Amino acid sequence: MASVSAVYYGLKNLANKDQKGFITPLVFNEFANIAQINIFNRMLDEEMLISKYRKARNIDAGRDKSRVKQIQEDLSSFTKTETLSGSQGLYKKPDDFSRIISAKTFGQFMLGQSTSTTIDLIFDEEKAEYILQSDLSRPTESNPVAIISSDIEVFPTSIKKIQVKYYKTPAGLDPITGIRVASTPRFGYSTVNGVEQFIPSQSVDFELPNHYIPKIIMEIGKMVGVSINEADLFQYGTAEEVKQ
């Protein structure tokens, strides 16, 4: 995943080039997670738009060149499944909930088959009201629906437990172990002779994939008012590849 030290030093080097600005760890840490969430939200929006329009119209490239596949692969590390218990059909979203993917009733495997039922997701309150009042489309335990708003409301209310698959809000990774942590990206450091020395044990890496480093650099630079162009990023990336 994207190393916080690679992003910080890359941004600092590019910002200092031609006196475009000066980046301190304090400024960097203030905007690091905001940048990650902005990029993550754009990934979700792009995945939805491409899936709905390009793929439906057969204009998205296939297989490994498919933009839909590339984004879905990047988003896969943010996918979680949780079992929720509700009261009167009302379920509280998980704390790290970002966007729902699917939902189903909680079931068991019997004779090699699952007893769970897919729940139809509704985001339009007017449509939900029509369905709930209609004798023909009224929800049943074999054909349940869920209204997605600040909470998740499932009908019929006789359903007591559900499983939701969703995209979690990105947080961070331990730079040493690579284990997911609840903390957000942070550049930990000590100052020696006026120069920041990176301390991995006090840092948190980004949860975004490694190839998003240029976008993170651009995003933070944009928020702190530092102008960084594509040519600068290309030259920086080439220099890093030579070092490695």
Torsion of CA 171, 174, 179, 182, to 10 degrees: -30
- pLDDT tens-place string over residues 160-175: 999 999 999 999 999 9
Rounded Cα distance, 58 and 146, in Å: 31
- List pLDDT tens digits, range 100-156: 999 999 976 666 677 899 999 999 988 888 898 888 888 999 999 999 999 999 999
The reported pTM is 0.82
For residue 149, the model assigns a pLDDT of 93
How far does Cα 42 stand from its chain's mean position?
9
